[in-house]
Structure formats: C-alpha cells, structure tokens
Structure 1
Amino acid sequence: MHRPPTRLRRRTVLAIGLTTAISLTACGSPTDAGAGPASPSASPTPKGVVDRSTAASVVDTYEKANNKANATRDAQLLGTVEAGQVHEQSKADYVAWDTWTKKRQKEYATPFFYRDRDYFIPAAGSGATWFAVTARSRQDPKAPRGLLIFDRVGGRYKMTAALELKGAPKIARDKHGFAVPADPSKKVGALAPDQIAESYEDYFETGGKTAKRYFAPTEESRESKKIYNDRNKGETGHWATTSYAGQKPSHPAVYALKLAGGGVLAVFPTAHPEKTILKPEHIYDAKITPGPAAAAFNSTPRIAVINTYEGQGLAELQPEAKAKVTALEYGLTGSK
C-alpha cells in the first residue's frame, strides 16, 4: 500500500540528486546578477552576498560532487554540497535505489550540467545568506527553467532547494542589479511566505476546505485535492483508512524574492505523514504489507504504516490576489 510514483510530479525537474537526472550541458556564459558599472560620480557599488565568480564556482562544485555521489549513492559526499529539504529527498532516493527500474537508475546516475544560468544575488547587508540561480534543463530554449537556491550551511554554500520555474515570473533587481529578498514573515495578500506550507497542507488533510480561501486553483492544488479524495478508494480502502496531517519539515528555511510587479516568489518547505491504519474489524486477522518504496525503510508487515513525506514548493504571492502554488515536490523519506 503505497503512493503512486507520479505524486505531484515527484522530483522530475532538474538533475540535482533528484529522481530524474536530465542532461544539462555546461554553463556557457552565466548572466551576472551582481553589481553593474557605476557612473564616475556615483558612490561605490555595493557588494553582493557573493560575487558572480564565486556563485558560478559553487554551482560547478555542486555539479561535480553530485554527479560523483549519484554514481555510487554516496550520501556523505552529497552532504558536502547539499542540505535542506532537497537533501532529505536525495538521501531517501539512495535508500530506495534497489526498488527502482534499471532505466530509472541509469537516468539518475547520468552526469548532468546546468546551462543558461542566470544568477540572482542579493546585496550584502540585505539580510540574505543565500543566492538563487535559474537554469535550463535541456538545450531546447522552450524547455522550462528550474529555480535553485544555495544557502550558507555549516560554513559553506550548499544547494537547499530546487524546483521547476513555471511561466516567466520576473524577479526584481535593484539599481545595482542585485536580487531583492523579501521578508518571509511579511504578508503579501492573505499569506506571508512562511505561512504557505501550513495553509497548503489543508488540501491533504481536508481536501482544501480552508486552503481554498487562500490559494487560487492550480495543477498542484488539484492534484493535492485528488490525493485526499482518493485516499480510501480501491482495495486499500476496504481494509484500512488513510489520512494526512501537516507536520514541521525537517528544514524550516523559507526563501523569498520580490517580483518586478510587486509580488513575491517564495520557496517553502513542507511535510506530512501519510497514516494508513487497519480498520478495527481487521486488526486481528490482517497486516499491511508496505509497498516497495516504503519497504526500503521498513518492510515489516504491521497494522499501521506511517510514511513520512518531505517536500518543497514554489508559490507566487500578489497583494490583491490569492496565492498560487506553481511547483510542489514530495519525497518519501521514512516509514514506520
């Protein structure tokens, strides 16, 4: 009894230690999101949290270490360049490796590289400790871009989030070319970036009775609601009941960037357990056998299977509109 592998486009965005290692070719000439030239009479241009050269080196190092780690499922090596929710998902991928098809294993272990990079570096003194990068996953110029976040963790920059960037949200830059971070605790419309996850998880818990007040319908919200509606259908529903409840993610960092039109683009962590429990009339004569993915963490047949899903999401917030969750990815990270 396990969740379908297509759950919310689960980790098929960019080759970053995720489910699918889509080939990206090398970097070309990254766009500098740092300081632009100052006029002779202007004050010295402020510095960014990093310069473009350093940011490019961070991404290059990530590519190299992640490719090597994926080849042998070396979680310790991966941990030198990756952290946060994306790392929780990557570590879980390594655990589940033997349950995958040979095709999926081959795709995952195929080396990748980021192309068409565009750097969004906040100014030093802005309060940000991180920078963002967008990159295209294929040579096709029409291919979607991904948004990558690199934050300072344990004294070095590591990737902490990676999501598909749908549409073309225009990230704001100040007069020096620096990205403008937003306060995650400040409301934009009905929600602040750090309130998105708790409000959104209502789709899984109730089908969106409360969430629909705050979120505009998107493909992600419809899929989330469908998971709730289908939770007790089929053979599983005959023997057991399944429920969801939001919980605190392992890594709570929220990243927010101002958009040129006045809104905010927010990267948020999220998590929930999926509890499947035998109905009272079957407790004494049946056991739940975990599906392959859950069994990689705990294969013991039992009367209740509680799977933990760690996720990351991307949302657009506008002052006069409902929030839109435009990307959402969960990974099975444990089972008990």
Structure 2
Amino acid sequence: MAKNLRVLGAAGLLALLAACSPGGGAPALQQTMVGPPLSEAEAAEVIAEVNEAIDQAYRDLDSELLEEVAGGSLLQRSIAEIEQRSASSDVAAESREYTDPQFVIPRNGLWWMADAAVAGADSRELLTFAHSGQGQWLLVSAITLETDLPTIATDEHGNALTAPLDDTASRILPKDAAAAYTDLWATGGDGPGSPLAATALGEDIRERRSSDDPLLVTGYMPTTPESTRTWVLRTEEGGTVAVGHVAHTKTVSAIAVPGAAGSEYSADPRTPVRTHHSGEVAMWLPASDFPEILGAELAEIPAG
C-alpha cells in the first residue's frame, strides 16, 4: 500500500453513504465487492497512516487535514475537540498509538474493523474503516470498549462474516441499535431501548440523565446523526455486533423560585440551554440473551 495513502474525505463519504440503503435490508454496497479484502499487514499500515495524520491534525489544529482522514460523527466530534484546543493555549496535543490490533475483515472489501489496545492506557478501542470505492479508506468510528468484543464468526478463508441490517437473531434488530441507545437518553429506556435498560451502561445512562438539582429540568431529544450507516458482523454464537452513529440534543432549563420578599413564582422553565451531542455506539446483539452495549462515544458539537 502506497505511503501517500489518502483516505476518503467528506465528499467521498457522502457519495458512499448515498449509495447505501437506509431501509431494513442490507446496504447495496455491502453486497458488492470492490476488490479483495485487505491483508492484516495492509490493514495495520492503514491504521498507522491514518493515526499519524490524525495526530498531525491535532498538533497543528488543522481541521482540513482531519477531514481527509475521518468522517461522520467521528469527524464532527474531532473537529469540535480541535476547536476547543484552539481556544485554550494550555491544552497540549496528545499522541495516540494503537498496539496489538485484532483485525475483523469481511470478504466484501468495503469496510473492516480492528479491536486495538491504546498504548499507555488500560483500554482497547474498536476502530471501523469504510472504503471509498476508489482505493481509499476513511476512519468512521473509534469506540472505547467497556467489555470484550465477542468472537466474530469467520468463513473458510478467515474473513469475518457480515449480517443483514434486519437480522432477527436478537431482541433488537441491528438497524435499530443506534435508536435503542439514543432512547436510553431520551426516555430512560421506555421505548426501543427497553432491552438495554437493565444493562450496566444502560443503568449508568439512566442515572446520568437525571439531575439531582430540583430546580433544573433536563431533557434529551433524538436527532439525526451525520451518518445513518450501520455496520453489522455475525458472532460465533449466532447473534451480531452492530456499530452505528448516534446523536441527540440536551436541553437544560432552570425553574424560577420565590425570593425572600415573595417575588413572583413561575413553575415554567426559564430560557433553555441546548447543546448538541454526536458519537458512535457498538452493541452486541446475542441470539440467546439480552443485548449489551460494548461501548459508546459522545461529545458536544457545535449547533448546525
């Protein structure tokens, strides 16, 4: 693989996503090979080159360079972080290095994942790369894993098996995984996220979404993420692993209280403060148990 590898930029990402079916079936591109799958050595080189470019973008506070190596909600939250760094001269750039990558490479040659350790940290991340169809790769998701990735099923050549978006092996369809996660924030799991409410991360979200301050009213509203693509792998036990983008708006309002002199009291919330959040989620949808959130990333992004 050439050393001057240039991964897919934002325009190419939109073309790639436009070609994918948003409905219940598997995306059209998922069914069409654009070439042979990468070898593990080639995949390792892609990770190194993309990671080097991302580190350079952070050091130089260069959003345009970042747009050449990241996409979707990952790009959104990375640009937001660069803007925060630009506003604070005391924030030093942090280099990131991945080690011990465990590759998950489907045969279709369109996308692949890697479960990699973060050097100097006791954590692993699930990285997802998508193909532009023009010999280029784009990092579209990077999620810190809260639990081990389940064993992925492979074919006779050792390539990972994919699964359709409407696979019915589990209580949640892969195409609905992102919406189920967002529902935990919006309703606490009263809707499509109900199978996740009793999980460890589900309970954590339910606790975090509730304010301890009786004078604050907090609400979450699902929004459409930058990308609606979901990537689905078959697990050895018959279920799936789904990775998708998520987004919501958080609204915080303060309630007026009467003053010592008996000032007018209103139970209606004052002018709300709204923030927008974007990220990714990885979910295990087992065939014989409740779904489990493997990890999720969310960050505040600028409005619009």
Fold shared, TM-score > 0.5 on shorter chain:
yes
Distance in 2 of aligned mates of 1:101 and 1:184: 44
1:57-206 map, 5 Å: 57-98=45-86, 102=90, 105-106=91-92, 109-124=93-108, 129-138=110-119, 143-153=122-132, 155=134, 156-165=136-145, 166-206=147-187
Q: Which amino acid in 1 is paired with 2:162?
A: P
Aligned length: 258
Q: Which amino acid in 2 is paired with 1:181?
A: T
CA deviations over 1:259-302 (Å, ceiling 9, x no partner) = 112121111211100122455889xx9xxxxxxxxxxxxxxxx9
For residue 327 of structure 1, what is the aligned residue in structure 2?
295
Distance in 1 of aligned mates of 2:41 and 2:274: 45
CA deviations over 1:197-240 (Å, ceiling 9, x no partner) = 2222222222222356322633321121012222xx32xx52x5
Q: 1:257 aligns with which of 233, 249, 252?
A: 233
Q: Which amino acid in 1 is paired with 2:110?
A: T
Structure 1 residue 311 and structure 2 residue 290: aligned? no
Structure 1 residue 274 and structure 2 residue 250: aligned? yes
Q: Which amino acid in 1 is paired with 2:194?
A: R
Distance in 1 of aligned mates of 2:166 and 2:279: 20
Alpha-carbon RMSD across the aligned residues, in angstroms, is 2.7
Q: Is the 8 A contact 1:185 1:194 kept in 2?
A: yes
Secondary structure at 1:214 match in 2:
helix
Distance in 1 of aligned mates of 2:303 and 2:229: 24
Shift of 1:305: 2.0
The one of the two structures with greater contact order (alpha-carbon pairs below 8 A, sep at least 6) is 1
Structure 2 unaligned residues grouped into runs of 5+: 1-34, 259-263, 265-269
Q: Which amino acid in 2 is paired with 1:259?
A: T
Aligned residues with identical type, % of pairs: 22
For residue 33 of structure 1, what is the aligned residue in structure 2?
none
Distance in 2 of aligned mates of 1:220 and 1:118: 24
Distance in 1 of aligned mates of 2:221 and 2:96: 36
Q: Is the 8 A contact 1:207 1:229 kept in 2?
A: no
Shift of 1:334: 1.9
Secondary structure at 2:196 match in 1:
coil
CA deviations over 1:147-204 (Å, ceiling 9, x no partner) = 1101024842011011123224111211101011111232332211110122222222
Shift of 1:99: 6.0
